[in-house]
């Protein structure tokens, strides 16, 4: 699967319910929809829908076992998001350096 774009990751994690589900999976490991629903405070179809969005963004993986589907967090999918902030921080720092040079050369 292709890595999700940072924009897709932002969108999938911007929803508090989805973020809560993802955090829960990060913390507790593999869980079924039923187990996630019990603690989510929203309906099972809603939890399933959120899991679908997270899966599309590559943030969760599902595994079928009998009639149950088990979900687990894919923490590595967050890499583009972490990369984006560090890349942009580096970019802007170098631009600030150049801006300082320009200001030194400018007249008052």
Min dist CB 98 to another protein, Å, is 4
Size of the site for another protein (CB under 8 A): 35
43-72: contacts with another protein (CB under 8 A): none
81-100: contacts with another protein (CB under 8 A): 81-82, 84-86, 88-89, 92-93, 95-96, 98-100
Q: List Cβ neighbours of 8 (8 Å cut-off, separation of 6 or more).
A: 56, 57
54 burial level (CB within 10 Å; 0-12, 13-18, 19+):
buried
Phi, psi at 43, each rounded to 5°: -70, 160
Task: In whole angstroms, give the CA distance from residue 1 to residue 95.
Answer: 35
66/106 with CB nearer another protein? 106
DSSP type of residue 74? -
Q: Give the footprint of another protein on this chain (CB under 8 A).
A: 5-7, 10-11, 13-16, 19, 23, 26, 75-76, 78-79, 81-82, 84-86, 88-89, 92-93, 95-96, 98-103, 106, 108
């Amino acid at each position: 699967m292709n890595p999700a774009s940072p924009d897709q990751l932002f969108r999938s994690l911007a929803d508090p319910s989805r973020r809560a589900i993802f955090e829960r999976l990060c913390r507790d490991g593999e869980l079924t929809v039923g187990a996630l629903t019990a603690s989510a405070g929203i309906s099972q179809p809603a939890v399933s829908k959120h899991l679908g969005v997270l899966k599309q963004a590559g943030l969760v993986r599902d595994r079928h076992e009998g009639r149950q589907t088990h979900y687990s967090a894919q923490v590595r999918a967050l890499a583009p998001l972490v990369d984006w902030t560090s890349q942009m921080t580096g970019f802007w720092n170098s631009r600030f350096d150049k801006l300082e040079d320009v200001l030194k050369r400018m007249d008052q």
